[in-house]
Structure 1
Amino acid sequence: MAAFSLSFAVSYAPLSYGVSHQTEVPLVEGKGLAKGPLLFINLGLTFIGHNQEDMKEGLLQYIDPDNRDDYNNGMFATENVVKEIKRRLKEYTPLTFLYHLYYKQSLTVAEGNLGWLYRSVENEKTPYISPLYQATKDNVFAQFVRDFFLNTDKGSYVYYSLLKQAVWIVMALGLVFSLWKYRPNDHLNFLILAVFGGLLFLQIFEGGKTRYLIQFLPQILILSAVGLTQYPQALGKFRFWSGKKRSERSC
Structure 2
Amino acid sequence: MWLLKRNAVKPLIIIQATLMFSFIQIIVPYSDVMVMPFVSLIIWGTAMMKQAQTNPTKLIGLLTFSLSSLAAYLMKPSAIILTIAILIGISLHFLQVKFTKKNVLAYGLSLLVFLLIFVCGIKSFNNFTYHNDVVKIKHDQGQPANHFIAMGITGNGAWSPEQVNTTNRMKTTKERSDYSNHIIKKQLKKQGIFGMIQFFIAKNYSNTSDGTFGWYRGDGPYTDVNKPTKNLIQDIYYQNGKYYKDYSFVAQIFWILLISLIIFGIGYLSEFSQMLRLSILGGLTFLLIFEGGRSRYLIQFLPIFLTLAVLSFDSAKIMIKNIASTIKLTLQKDH
Across the two proteins, how many residue pairs are aligned to each other? Answer: 212
Scaled by the length of structure 1, what TM-score is found?
A: 0.68
1:147 matched residue in structure 2: 235
Q: How does 1:112-191 map to 2 (within 5 A)?
A: 112-117=211-216, 118=220, 121-123=223-225, 140=230, 143-149=231-237, 151-179=238-266, 181=267, 183=269, 185-191=270-276
1:83 matched residue in structure 2: 182
Whether 1:92 aligns to 2:200 is no
Q: Flag the 1:155–1:49 CA change in 2: closer, same or farther, 3 A.
A: farther
> Which of 169, 175, 179 is 1:72 aligned to?
169
Q: CA deviation at 1:227?
A: 2.0
Q: CA deviation at 1:232?
A: 1.7
Q: Flag the 1:207–1:6 CA change in 2: closer, same or farther, 3 A.
A: closer
What CA distance in whole angstroms lies between the structure 2 residues aligned with 1:248 and 1:75? Answer: 72
Q: CA deviation at 1:139?
A: 9.7
Which amino acid in structure 1 is aligned with residue 191 of structure 2? Y
The sequence identity of aligned pairs, in percent, is 24
Q: Flag the 1:55–1:248 CA change in 2: closer, same or farther, 3 A.
A: farther
What CA distance in whole angstroms lies between the structure 1 residues aligned with 2:67 and 2:291? Answer: 33
Judge conservation of contact 2:262–2:316 (CA < 8 Å) in 1: no
Q: CA deviation at 1:190?
A: 0.7
> Which stretches in structure 1 are left out of the alignment for 5+ residues?
21-26, 64-70, 125-136
Which amino acid in structure 2 is aligned with residue 81 of structure 1? S
Helix, strand or coil for the counterpart of 1:105?
helix
Q: CA deviation at 1:121?
A: 2.4
Q: Cα RMSD (Å) of the superposition? A: 4.1
Judge conservation of contact 1:174–1:227 (CA < 8 Å) in 2: yes
1:50 matched residue in structure 2: 158
Scaled by the length of structure 2, what TM-score is found?
A: 0.52
What CA distance in whole angstroms lies between the structure 2 residues aligned with 1:49 and 1:199? Answer: 13
Helix, strand or coil for the counterpart of 2:275?
helix
> Which stretches in structure 2 are left out of the alignment for 5+ residues?
1-58, 76-127
Judge conservation of contact 1:46–1:54 (CA < 8 Å) in 2: no
2:3 matched residue in structure 1: none
Higher-helix-fraction structure: 2
2:311 matched residue in structure 1: 226
Helix, strand or coil for the counterpart of 2:312?
helix
What CA distance in whole angstroms lies between the structure 1 residues aligned with 2:292 and 2:263? Answer: 22
Helix, strand or coil for the counterpart of 1:98?
helix
Judge conservation of contact 1:33–1:72 (CA < 8 Å) in 2: no
Q: CA deviation at 1:242?
A: 3.6
Q: How does 1:101-120 map to 2 (within 5 A)?
A: 101-117=200-216, 118=220
What CA distance in whole angstroms lies between the structure 2 residues aligned with 1:90 and 1:83? Answer: 11
